[in-house]
Every structure is written in structure tokens, then in C-alpha cells.
């Protein structure tokens, strides 16, 4: 893509980030990353709980 000044913009990997300022875009990217990490951690916790439950019932 070309910017107003005429220089060619490098293709962005993050197409979802808006172009209204690098600081805001960075904050959004960080927020998305944090959300992703949080969801992964949550999934792992839920899986661990399931595993511990099955082990508990196996011991009975």
C-alpha cells in the first residue's frame, strides 16, 4: 500500500490493527496477545481439573 507521502508501505502482518497511531495499535496488539494467553491458561486449568477429577474417581 502507498501512504499519502508516496512511499511504499511494507505489508503489515496484522491486518486487523487500525492505522490511527502506532501507540494505540501496539496497545491493541498487546491486549489481543494478553487475551489469547489468558484463554490458553484458562483452557489448561480446565483440562487439569478434568484430569484430576478422573484420577480421583479412578482411586475410589
Residue 57 cell numbers, joined = 474417581
Q: Is residue 14 part of a domain?
A: no
14 closest CA partner among 37, 2, 27:
27
27 falls within a domain: yes
> Which is higher by pLDDT, 34 or 57?
34
- Cα distance between residue 46 and residue 60, in whole Å: 22
What is the pLDDT, as a whole number, of residue 51?
A: 72
Euclidean distance between CA atoms 12 and 15, whole angstroms = 6
Is residue 42 in some structural domain?
yes
DSSP three-state, residue 33: helix
Domain total of the chain? 1
Q: What is the pLDDT of residue 8?
A: 62
Q: What is the pLDDT of residues 1-56, one digit of tens each?
A: 455 556 666 555 555 555 667 888 888 889 999 999 999 888 888 888 777 777 77
- The domain in which residue 43 lies consists of 20-60
Give me the pLDDT at residue 31, please.
Answer: 92
Amino acid at each position: 500500500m502507498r501512504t499519502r507521502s508516496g512511499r511504499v508501505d511494507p505489508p503489515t502482518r496484522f491486518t486487523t490493527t487500525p492505522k490511527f497511531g502506532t501507540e494505540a495499535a501496539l496497545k491493541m496488539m498487546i491486549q489481543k496477545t494478553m487475551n489469547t494467553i489468558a484463554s490458553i491458561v484458562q483452557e489448561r486449568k480446565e483440562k487439569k481439573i478434568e484430569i484430576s477429577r478422573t484420577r480421583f474417581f479412578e482411586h475410589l
